[in-house]
Amino acid sequence: MSATTAQTPAPRVVAVVLTWNDTTLTTRCLQSVFASDYPQLQVVLVDNGSEPPCGPQLQQQFPAVTLIQNPHNQGFSGGANRGLEKALEMGADYIHLIGNDATLAPDAISKLVSACEQQPDVGAAGPLLLDSVRPDTVQFYTAQLDRDQAAHYHEHVGDVHADQEWPTVDSEFIPCVALLFRAKALRTVGLLDESFGTCWEDYDLCLRLHDAGWRYLMVGAATAVHVGSFTTGRTSPYIVYYTTRNRLICLRRYSRDLHSPRRWWSLLRSFIWYMRQYGLLNWRCHLALMRGFWDYFLRRARGEALRTRAGEVPGAG
C-alpha cells in the first residue's frame, strides 16, 4: 500500500458490562476487556442499582470506563438497554454486551468483528463459551430453536474443547453472555424488551433479528469463560417466576400453532420436568411458578402490560 493510500479505520466497538451488587467478578471481566487486542474499543459500565452503589469504586479501578449508575435495579433487559443506548449514542459500529460473570480471551473481540465484517447480514456474533469450573469443557457452542414450544436446545454442552475443531457456523440462538451486536441491526429491530425484566429477553430479541433477516454467527475461534447464574442463581423463586411467565409470552408471540392441544400438553410436560429439576419439595419455587402462570393469564385477560419491577415476584414475600 502506498503512503498516500488512507488505511480504513477499524470499526468502533463499545463493550457494555452490566453489574449488580458485585465487584469481584466485574473486576475480572473488565480486566479481560481492557486486555483486548482490539484497537478501537470503548467500555461502558452499567451499575444496575447496586446497594450500596459499586460503580464509583469500579470506575476508580478502571478510569477509562464510562459509568452509568442506575438508581434502581431495572432487570437485565432494562440495565442492558441503558448501556446499549449509550453505546449507540457514542457512535458504535458494534456493541459487545458482556455479563459481568464472563471473561474474554484477548483476541475474542477482534475475531468477532472480523467475522462480522466479512458477512454483512450477520446481526450478532458470539464466542464459544467455556465453563469456569472446567475450563477445558464447552458450555455453549450452538443451539436450535423451537418456536412452537418456546424452547432452545443447546448442542455440544460438556464436550472437551481440545478434542475437535470449532469452526465459525450459524446458530439459531446465542445467549446474551458476551454477544457482539451490529449496531445497524439493533437500530432496525430495537433493543431488549424491558417488560421481560430478566429471562427470555435474549430469545425474544434473537427471533426479532432473525425475522428481520439478520443471522446469528458462532465464532468458534473466539472464546470466553462464563461462570453462569452467579447473580440470580439457577433455582430461586425469582428465576422460576420470570422463566415461567416470560416463556409464555414468547410462546404467544412466536408459536405458529398456539391452540394445538398437543402443543400445550408437550409444554405442560416440560414444566413438570422443570419442577423436578428444582425439586418436587421446593414449595417456594412451586408457588413462584404458579404465580408466573397466573400473572401471565390474568394480565392478558385484562389487557394489561406485562411489566413488573425488576427483583419483584408478585406475592412472593
Residue 267 lies in a domain: yes
Q: Which grid cell is 144?
A: 436450535
Please check whether residues 141 and 260 belong to one and the same domain: no
Please check whether residues 87 and 17 belong to one and the same domain: yes
Residue 310 lies in a domain: no
Residue 8 lies in a domain: no
Q: Which domain holds residue 169?
A: 13-226
Element containing residue 128 per DSSP (H, E): strand 122-131
Please check whether residues 88 and 200 belong to one and the same domain: yes
CATH number at residue 30: 3.90.550.10
Provide the whole-model pTM: 0.88
Please state the domain count of the chain.
2
SS (H, E, C) 47-84: EECCCCCCHHHHHHHCCCCEEEEECCCCHHHHHHHHHH
Please check whether residues 191 and 279 belong to one and the same domain: no
Residue 308 lies in a domain: no
Please check whether residues 126 and 245 belong to one and the same domain: no
Nearest CA to 55 out of 20, 99, 6, 79 is that of 20
List per-residue pLDDT tens for the chain, 317 residues long: 334 445 778 999 999 999 999 999 999 999 999 999 999 999 999 999 999 999 999 999 999 999 999 999 999 999 999 999 999 999 999 999 999 999 999 999 999 999 999 999 999 999 999 999 999 999 999 999 999 888 899 999 999 999 999 999 999 999 999 999 999 999 999 999 999 999 999 999 999 999 999 999 999 999 999 997 544 455 688 889 999 999 989 988 998 876 666 667 677 777 787 777 877 788 888 898 889 888 888 766 544 444 444 444 333 32
**Residues forming beta bridges with residue 46, ordered by sequence position:** 18, 68
Which of residues 193, 226, 259 is at a domain's end?
Answer: 226
Residue 315 lies in a domain: no
Which of residues 226, 259, 278 is at a domain's end?
Answer: 226
Nearest CA to 37 out of 10, 6, 7, 8 is that of 10
Q: Which grid cell is 127?
A: 464466542
